[in-house]
């Protein structure tokens, strides 16, 4: 099991990524540069999801087959989000 310092560091990284996403939307960058910012937001969201699943849900210690099922779900979410973003335009 990871130490408290590891969990705290991961929390700080997650907070930084969330703040970055919120700042991009607050500054209106999504309206001005839709596709690059949407891509960046999707990448940041994926990184956050992997960090949460890996450390807080302890997926790192599970068999690889469980990890592959989680990754398949992540790929589906990304595809659906990209499709929904494409249909907005």
- The predicted-structure confidence for 44-84, as pLDDT tens digits, reads as follows 998 898 888 888 887 777 888 888 888 898 899 889 988 88
pLDDT at residue 89 is higher than 70? no
**In 3-state terms, what secondary structure has residue 80?**
helix
Contact 34, 89 (CB under 8 A): yes
- 21 exposure class (CB count in 10 Å sphere: 0-12, 13-18, 19+): middle
Question: What percent of the chain is predicted at pLDDT more than 70?
Answer: 96
pTM of the shown model: 0.67
- What single DSSP character describes residue 60? G
Rounded Cα distance, 89 and 82, in Å = 11
């Amino acid at each position: 099991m990871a130490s408290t310092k590891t969990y705290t560091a991961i929390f700080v990284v997650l907070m930084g990524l969330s703040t970055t996403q919120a700042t991009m939307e607050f500054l209106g960058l999504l309206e001005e540069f839709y596709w690059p910012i949407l891509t960046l937001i999707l990448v940041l969201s994926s990184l956050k999801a992997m960090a949460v699943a890996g450390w807080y849900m302890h997926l790192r210690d599970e068999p690889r087959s469980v990890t592959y099922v989680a990754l398949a779900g992540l790929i589906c979410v990304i595809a659906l989000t990209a499709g929904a973003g494409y249909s907005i335009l």
